[in-house]
Structure 1
Amino acid sequence: MDYPKRVIKAGEQDAAIVRAVKLQLNQKLVLDNDPQERLDPDNPEFGPRMKQLVKLFQARNVDDQGRPLKQDGEIGSLTWAALFGDATVDSSAKADDKLLARALKIAAGEEKKKVREVPRNSNRGPEVDEYLKRAGVSPGLSWCCAFVYWCFDEAAKALNRGNPMVRTAGCLDHWQRATGKGARRIRAKDAIADPSLVKAGMVFIMDHGGGKGHTGFVESVNGGLLTTIEGNTDASRTREGGGVYRLTRKVSEINAGYIDYSGL
Structure 2
Amino acid sequence: MQFPGRIIKAGEKSATVVRALKLRLNDALGLTEGLALDADNPAFGPKMTQAVMLFQARHVDSQGAPLKVDGEVGSVAWEALFGADSVPGAVDTDDALLRDALKIAQGEAAAGVREVRPPLNRGPRVDDYQTRTGLRLKAGTDGFAWCACFLYYCFDEAAKQAGRRNPLIKTAGCQDHWNKARAAGITEITGARATQKPALVKPGMIFIMAFGGGTGHTGIVESVQGGFITTIEGNSNNEGSRDGFGVFRLTRKINTINRGFIDYAGR
TM-score when scaled to structure 2? Answer: 0.96
1:249 corresponding residue in structure 2: 252
Q: Which runs of structure 2 are paired with 1:227-246 in the superposition (5 Å)?
A: 227-246=230-249
1:113 corresponding residue in structure 2: 111
SS of match in other structure, 1:36: helix
2:64 corresponding residue in structure 1: 66
Q: 2:60 is aligned with what amino acid?
A: V
Q: Does 1:9 align with 2:9?
A: yes
Q: Which segments of 5 or more consecutive residues in structure 2 lack a partner in the other structure?
A: 138-142
Q: 1:30 is aligned with what amino acid?
A: G
Q: 2:196 aligns with which of 193, 196, 203?
A: 193
Q: Does 1:174 align with 2:172?
A: no
- What do residues 16-47 of structure 1 show as CA deviations (whole Å, max 9, x unaligned)? 1100100000111111xx21110000011101
Is 210-219 or 59-68 further displaced after alignment? Answer: 59-68
- What do residues 45-104 of structure 1 show as CA deviations (whole Å, max 9, x unaligned)? 101110011011111111111111111110000111111111110101112110000000
Q: Does 1:164 align with 2:162?
A: no
Q: 1:135 is aligned with what amino acid?
A: T
Q: 1:119 is aligned with what amino acid?
A: R
Q: Which segments of 5 or more consecutive residues in structure 1 lack a partner in the other structure?
A: none
Q: 1:154 is aligned with what amino acid?
A: E
2:225 corresponding residue in structure 1: 222
2:140 corresponding residue in structure 1: none
2:20 corresponding residue in structure 1: 20
TM-score when scaled to structure 1? Answer: 0.97
2:82 corresponding residue in structure 1: 84
Q: 1:69 is aligned with what amino acid?
A: L
CA–CA distance in 2 between the matches of 1:5 and 1:242? Answer: 36
Q: Return closer, same or farther for 1:9/1:217 CA change in 2, 3 Å cut-off.
A: same
2:73 corresponding residue in structure 1: 75
Q: 1:211 aligns with which of 185, 199, 214?
A: 214
- What do residues 103-151 of structure 1 show as CA deviations (whole Å, max 9, x unaligned)? 0000000000100001167100001111000011123000000000000
CA–CA distance in 1 between the matches of 2:107 and 2:68? Answer: 34
- What do residues 181-203 of structure 1 show as CA deviations (whole Å, max 9, x unaligned)? 44200001000111111000000
Q: 1:52 aligns with which of 37, 50, 53?
A: 50
Equivalent pairs: percent with the same residue? Answer: 56
- Judge conservation of contact 1:29–1:57 (CA < 8 Å) in 2: yes
Please report the RMSD computed on the Cα atoms of aligned residues, expressed in angstroms: 1.0
CA–CA distance in 1 between the matches of 2:119 and 2:266? Answer: 37
Q: 1:99 aligns with which of 89, 97, 100?
A: 97
Q: 1:131 aligns with which of 129, 132, 140?
A: 129
- Judge conservation of contact 1:184–1:259 (CA < 8 Å) in 2: yes
- Judge conservation of contact 1:121–1:241 (CA < 8 Å) in 2: no
SS of match in other structure, 2:12: coil
